[in-house]
C-alpha cells in the first residue's frame, strides 16, 4: 500500500509539472503570435502559481494589450506591496500612469522616488540610469543635480557624460570626462574606453576627433596640469597610427616625468612595431640625446640599427647611399664592443647579414662572425647561431660542402634543440641542391616530426616537392635542374635560375613542377624587393593551380606582402579570409586566424572566432 501511494504521488507530481510546462509553452506561443487575449489566461494561471517576476511582466503586458487597465493597475500595485524596494516596479507604475494621461499620479511617484532614493551615490546612479533608459532626460538631470549637491566629493562625471551623450552634446560630454581626469588621473583607461565607444576617432578630419584634440591641447598647456592630457593626446593619435603627430608631446612628457629618455625609447618601439620607422628613429635619437643612462642609450642605438636593418633586409627600400649609412651606423656601435655578449650579438648578426646579403662583402662578414665566435661572453648555443650564419654565407659563396660540415656540427651539438633541427633541415637542403634526393628525403622524414611548427612545415613542403616530382627516371633531370635553380636563387643568381626554369618548361612542358616554378619565381622577386611581380606569380598559382599543394601557400604569401610590404591592410585582410574560406585545412590556418583578428582590431588575437 505504501509503495502504491509513493508511485501515485510521483505520478501526480510529474503530471502537474508537465501541465505547468505545457501552459508556459502555450503562453509563449500565443504571446509570440501577438494573441495576447489567448496568452493572458495561461500567464495569469502560471503567475498565480509561481509569483515569478518574469512571468508577471508578461502577464502585465498582456493586460495592457487587452486594455484591461484597471486589473493591470491593481495587479501592479499588489506586486509592489510584496516588493516595496523594487525600483523597476515603481517606475513601471509611474510609466503606466503617464501612458494613461494621469500626469499628477505619475509625477508624484517620480518625485517620491527622487526624494527617497538618495541615501547613497549608488542609489542615485541606479535611479539616474533608469531615467536614461526611459529617455526621461529631465528627470535624469534632476537626479544628477541633487546627487552632486549632496555627495560633493563623489565623481559623477561618468553619469554626466552619459546624459550629454544621450542629448548628442558631444563637446559637453568630452569636458565631463576630462574634468574627471583633472582630479582623478587613475580613471584614464576607463575614460579612454568610454571615448572610443562614443566618438568617431578613425580620422583626423572627423569632427569628433577635432573636438577631443582641441579639448586635450587646451588642458595639456595649462600649468600644473600634469601629464595625463599629454598622454591622452598620445593615445588619441595612436588610434589612427599618426605617431609623428604626437612626437613633441612624448618628448615633453618624458622631460616632465623625469623619465630620462625611457618614455621616448618605449614610444620608438611602439612606432617600430606599427611600421612608422621615421618617427621611431626620431624617438630613439631623442632618447639618446636626453638620457644620461648608458643602458637606455644603448637600447635606443640598437633600435636605430634595427630600423635600418628592417628597411634593408625586410622591406628592401633603400638606396646605395642609405645602405652605406646604415652599415656605418653599425660599425660605429660595434667599435665600442670589444667582444659581443648575448645582448649585443644580434647587432653583429644583423651587420654580417647586411654585408653578405646586401653589400656583397661576404669575406668581411665571415671575418666579423669568426672573430665574434671566440667571444668568452657567449654561450655555446649563441656561438651556434654565429656558425649557422657563417654556413649560410658559405652556401652563397658556392662552398656547399663546407656549409654542410658546419650544419652537421651544429645539429650534432644541439641534437634536441630547435637550432639543431634547423641545421639538419639546411643540411638536407644541401643534398637536395646536389641532386641527392633519396638522402635528403630520409633527413626530412625525421624533421617532419619537429616540435617547431615552422620548421616542420618547411620540411613537409620540401619533402612533398621531392615526392611529387621525383621517382621516375624521366623525372630526375627536371627535378635536378629545379633543385639547381633553387640553389642559384639562394646565391642571388636570378638570371641563371630563370634560365633553368625556362629549360624545364621547354623540355618538359607538362611536368608537375609548373606550380613550383611559379612559387620559386615569386620568392626570387621577393628577395629583390619586387613585390608587384611576386604578387603576379602568386596570383598565377591561385588562378591556374588552385587545386595544387602550393595554392594555400601562394594565398598566404600574397597576403603577407600586402600586409607587411605594401601596407595594404584591407586587401591583406580579404586575402587572409580567402585562404580561410578556400583552404580550411591549410597548415597556415591558425596563424591566419590570428592575423585576421589583429587586422580587424580585436584585442585578443589568440581567441577563436567564426572561422
**What's the pLDDT tens digit per position in 271-323?**
998 889 999 999 999 999 999 999 999 999 999 999 999 999 999 988 999 99
Average pLDDT over residues 471-495: 87
Instruction: State if pTM tops 0.85.
Output: no
Same domain (yes/no): 494, 593 = no
Residue 340 belongs to a domain? no
Phi, psi for residue 237 in degrees, rounded to 5: -70, -25
Give Cβ neighbours of residue 297 (< 8 Å, ≥ 6 apart): 261, 287, 288, 291
Query: How confident is the model at residue 101, as a pLDDT?
Result: 83
Average pLDDT over residues 451-469: 78
Lowest mean pLDDT across 63-72, 132-141, 520-529: 63-72
Average pLDDT over residues 61-68: 84
**What's the pLDDT tens digit per position in 402-443?**
999 999 999 999 988 989 999 999 999 999 999 999 999 988
Same domain (yes/no): 449, 536 = no
Residue 334 belongs to a domain? no
pLDDT beyond 80 at 609: no
Residue 552 belongs to a domain? yes
* Residues constituting the chain: 611
User: Taking a C-beta distance cutoff of 8 angstroms, is the pair 49, 16 a contact?
Assistant: no
Give Cβ neighbours of residue 423 (< 8 Å, ≥ 6 apart): 384, 388, 391, 407, 408, 410, 411, 414
| CA dist list (Å): 248 to 130, 230, 263, 474 | 44, 10, 12, 68
DSSP 187: G
Residue 94 belongs to a domain? no
Domain boundary among 62, 84, 106: 84
Query: How confident is the model at residue 550, as a pLDDT?
Result: 92
With CA atoms as reference, report the closest residue to 177 among 131, 415, 306, 165. Answer: 165
Residue 73 belongs to a domain? yes
Same domain (yes/no): 405, 506 = yes
Distance (Å, whole) CA 87 – CA 89 = 6
Q: Within 13 A of 481's CA, how many CA atoms are on the CB side?
A: 21
Distance (Å, whole) CA 194 – CA 179 = 14
Query: How confident is the model at residue 611, as a pLDDT?
Result: 43
The number of angstroms, rounded, from the C-alpha of 573 to the middle of its chain's C-alpha atoms is 12
Same domain (yes/no): 422, 506 = yes
Structure confidence at residue 451 as a pLDDT band (50, 70, 90): low
SS3 call for 405? helix
pLDDT beyond 70 at 501: yes
| CA dist list (Å): 179 to 163, 235, 577 | 15, 17, 43
For cell 615633453, name the residue.
Answer: 252
Domain boundary among 40, 66, 84: 84
User: Which residues form the domain of 20?
Assistant: 1-84
Query: How confident is the model at residue 509, as a pLDDT?
Result: 86
Query: How confident is the model at residue 144, as a pLDDT?
Result: 92
Distance (Å, whole) CA 477 – CA 435 = 9
Lowest mean pLDDT across 8-12, 193-197, 471-475, 594-598: 8-12
CATH code at position 598: 1.25.40.10
pLDDT beyond 90 at 330: yes
Phi, psi for residue 223 in degrees, rounded to 5: -65, 145
Query: How confident is the model at residue 610, as a pLDDT?
Result: 45
Residue 218 belongs to a domain? no
With CA atoms as reference, report the closest residue to 216 among 198, 195, 202. Answer: 195
Distance (Å, whole) CA 356 – CA 321 = 17
Q: How many domains does the chain have?
A: 4
Query: How confident is the model at residue 522, as a pLDDT?
Result: 97
Domain boundary among 511, 546, 574: 511
With CA atoms as reference, report the closest residue to 200 among 212, 185, 182. Answer: 212
- The angle formed by the CA atoms of residues 450, 454 and 458, to the nearest 5 degrees, is 85
Distance (Å, whole) CA 64 – CA 80 = 17
Same domain (yes/no): 385, 506 = yes
What percentage of the chain reaches a pLDDT higher than 70?
93
Distance (Å, whole) CA 372 – CA 353 = 14
pLDDT beyond 80 at 482: yes
Max CA distance (Å), the chain: 105
Same domain (yes/no): 489, 385 = yes
CATH code at position 25: 1.25.40
Average pLDDT over residues 589-601: 91
With CA atoms as reference, report the closest residue to 90 among 74, 68, 106. Answer: 106
Distance (Å, whole) CA 476 – CA 437 = 9
Give Cβ neighbours of residue 287 (< 8 Å, ≥ 6 apart): 254, 261, 262, 264, 265, 268, 296, 297, 300
For cell 534632476, name the residue.
Answer: 142
Average predicted confidence (pLDDT) for the chain: 88
Average pLDDT over residues 2-18: 43
DSSP 186: G
Same domain (yes/no): 493, 607 = no
Same domain (yes/no): 605, 522 = yes
Same domain (yes/no): 385, 507 = yes
Helix (H) or strand (E) holding 499: helix 494-507
User: Taking a C-beta distance cutoff of 8 angstroms, is the pair 521, 495 a contact?
Assistant: no
Give Cβ neighbours of residue 49 (< 8 Å, ≥ 6 apart): 20
Same domain (yes/no): 477, 517 = no
For cell 615552422, name the residue.
Answer: 454
Structure confidence at residue 13 as a pLDDT band (50, 70, 90): very low
Same domain (yes/no): 492, 586 = no
pLDDT beyond 90 at 66: no
Phi, psi for residue 30 in degrees, rounded to 5: -70, -40
Residue 546, burial from CB neighbour count under 10 angstroms (0-12, 13-18, 19+): middle
Structure confidence at residue 6 as a pLDDT band (50, 70, 90): very low
Residue 399 belongs to a domain? yes
Distance (Å, whole) CA 556 – CA 580 = 10
**What's the pLDDT tens digit per position in 206-255?**
899 999 999 998 888 776 777 888 889 888 988 888 899 889 889 988 99
Distance (Å, whole) CA 317 – CA 311 = 6
Q: Within 13 A of 93's CA, how many CA atoms are on the CB side?
A: 23
**What's the pLDDT tens digit per position in 551-571?**
999 999 999 999 999 999 999
Residue 178 belongs to a domain? no
Same domain (yes/no): 495, 547 = no
Amino acid at each position: 500500500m505504501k509503495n502504491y501511494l509513493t508511485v501515485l504521488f510521483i505520478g501526480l507530481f510529474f503530471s502537474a509539472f508537465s501541465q505547468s510546462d505545457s501552459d508556459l509553452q502555450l503562453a509563449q506561443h500565443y504571446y509570440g503570435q501577438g494573441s495576447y487575449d489567448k496568452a493572458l489566461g495561461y500567464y495569469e494561471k502560471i503567475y498565480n502559481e509561481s509569483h515569478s517576476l518574469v512571468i508577471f511582466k508578461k502577464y502585465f503586458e498582456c493586460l495592457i494589450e487587452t486594455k484591461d487597465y484597471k486589473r493591470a493597475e491593481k495587479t501592479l500595485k499588489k506586486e509592489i506591496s510584496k516588493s516595496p524596494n523594487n525600483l523597476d516596479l515603481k517606475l513601471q507604475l509611474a510609466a503606466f500612469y503617464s501612458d494613461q494621461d494621469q500626469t499628477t499620479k505619475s509625477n508624484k511617484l517620480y518625485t517620491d522616488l527622487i526624494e527617497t532614493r538618495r541615501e547613497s551615490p549608488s542609489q542615485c546612479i541606479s535611479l539616474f540610469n533608469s531615467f536614461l533608459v526611459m529617455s526621461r532626460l529631465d528627470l535624469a538631470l534632476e537626479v544628477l543635480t541633487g546627487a552632486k549637491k549632496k555627495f560633493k566629493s563623489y565623481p559623477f562625471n561618468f553619469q554626466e557624460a552619459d546624459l550629454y551623450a544621450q542629448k548628442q552634446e558631444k563637446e559637453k560630454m568630452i569636458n565631463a570626462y576630462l574634468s574627471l581626469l583633472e582630479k582623478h588621473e587613475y580613471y584614464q583607461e576607463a575614460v579612454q574606453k568610454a571615448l572610443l565607444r562614443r566618438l568617431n576617432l578613425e580620422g583626423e578630419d572627423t569632427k569628433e576627433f577635432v573636438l577631443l584634440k582641441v579639448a586635450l591641447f587646451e588642458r595639456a598647456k595649462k600649468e600644473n596640469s600634469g601629464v595625463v592630457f599629454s598622454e591622452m593626446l598620445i593615445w588619441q593619435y595612436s588610434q589612427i597610427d599618426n605617431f609623428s603627430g604626437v612626437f613633441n608631446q612624448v618628448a615633453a612628457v618624458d622631460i616632465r616625468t623625469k623619465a630620462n629618455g625611457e618614455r621616448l625609447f618605449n614610444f620608438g618601439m611602439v612606432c617600430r612595431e606599427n611600421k612608422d620607422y621615421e618617427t621611431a628613429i626620431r624617438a630613439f635619437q631623442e632618447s639618446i640625446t636626453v638620457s644620461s643612462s648608458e643602458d637606455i642609450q644603448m637600447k635606443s642605438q640598437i633600435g636605430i640599427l634595427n630600423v635600418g636593418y628592417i628597411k634593408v633586409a625586410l622591406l628592401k627600400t633603400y638606396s646605395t647611399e642609405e645602405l652605406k649609412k646604415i652599415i656605418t651606423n653599425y660599425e660605429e656601435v660595434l667599435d665600442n664592443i670589444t667582444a659581443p655578449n648575448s645582448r649585443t650579438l644580434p647587432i653583429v648578426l644583423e651587420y654580417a647579414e647586411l654585408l653578405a646579403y646586401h653589400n656583397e662583402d661576404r669575406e668581411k662578414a665571415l671575418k666579423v662572425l669568426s672573430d665574434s665566435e671566440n667571444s668568452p661572453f657567449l654561450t655555446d648555443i649563441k656561438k651556434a647561431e654565429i656558425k649557422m650564419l657563417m654556413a649560410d654565407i658559405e652556401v652563397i659563396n658556392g662552398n656547399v660542402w663546407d656549409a654542410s660540415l658546419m650544419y652537421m656540427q651544429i645539429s650534432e651539438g644541439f641534437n634536441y634543440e630547435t637550432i639543431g633541427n634547423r641545421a639538419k633541415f639546411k643540411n638536407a637542403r644541401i643534398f637536395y641542391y646536389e641532386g641527392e634526393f633519396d638522402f635528403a628525403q630520409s633527413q626530412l622524414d625525421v624533421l617532419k616530426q619537429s616540435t617547431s611548427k615552422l620548421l616542420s612545415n618547411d620540411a613537409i613542403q620540401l619533402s612533398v616537392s621531392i615526392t611529387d616530382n621525383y621517382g621516375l627516371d624521366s623525372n630526375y633531370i627536371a627535378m635536378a635542374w629545379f633543385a639547381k635553380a633553387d640553389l642559384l636563387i639562394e646565391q642571388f643568381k636570378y638570371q641563371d635560375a630563370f634560365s633553368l626554369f625556362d629549360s624545364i618548361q621547354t623540355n618538359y612542358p607538362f611536368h608537375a613542377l609548373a606550380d613550383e616554378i611559379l612559387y620559386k619565381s615569386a620568392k626570387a622577386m621577393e628577395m629583390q624587393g619586387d613585390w608587384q611581380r611576386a604578387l603576379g606569380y602568386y596570383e598565377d598559382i591561385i588562378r591556374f593551380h588552385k587545386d595544387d599543394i602550393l595554392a594555400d601557400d601562394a594565398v598566404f604569401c600574397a597576403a603577407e606582402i600586402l600586409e607587411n610590404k605594401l601596407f595594404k591592410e584591407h586587401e591583406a585582410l580579404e586575402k587572409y579570409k580567402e585562404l580561410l574560406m578556400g583552404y580550411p585545412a591549410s597548415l597556415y590556418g591558425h596563424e591566419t586566424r590570428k592575423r585576421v583578428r589583429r587586422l580587424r582590431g580585436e584585442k585578443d588575437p589568440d581567441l577563436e572566432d567564426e572561422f
